[in-house]
Amino acid sequence: MAILALGFLSPMLAVPFLKYGAYGMYFEVYQQAGQSLLGGQWRWRLKAANHQIIAQGESYHNQQDCLAAIGLVMDTNRTTPVRQG
């Protein structure tokens, strides 16, 4: 399991989280293990400073796509709309 610091992707991507005081939050990237159909795929989780999972993404075939999804999450901000569906 690898833990990537926010600055790993790009320092510019970390600005929204730092700007709003989310110190201590981090993304965890890991490769799913096991003999299931999803075994070997890449996943991410956003964790709080107390290490509790706040959000998680779907599985990705390669690490680069997983990191790109983290970048999309990092690009959201307080003006991103919330829709009930």
CATH assignment at residue 13: 3.30.160.160
pLDDT at 70 over 60: yes
At a CB cut-off of 8 Å and minimum separation 6, what does 70 contact?
9, 27, 29, 44, 57
- The pLDDT mean for the chain works out to 76
**Domain hosting residue 9, numbered range:** 2-74
pLDDT at 1 over 70: no
Residue for token pair 């569906």: 85
Band of pLDDT at residue 62, cut at 50, 70 and 90: very high
Evaluate whether residue 15 is within a structural domain: yes
Question: How many folded domains does the chain comprise?
Answer: 1
Tell me, what DSSP letter sits at residue 38?
T
Evaluate whether residue 84 is within a structural domain: no
Q: pLDDT digits over 32-53, tens only?
A: 886 566 668 999 999 998 889 9
Please, are residues 66 and 29 in contact by the beta-carbon 8 Å criterion?
yes
pLDDT at residue 49 in the model: 87
pLDDT at 27 over 60: yes
Evaluate whether residue 18 is within a structural domain: yes
More confident residue, 8 or 77: 77
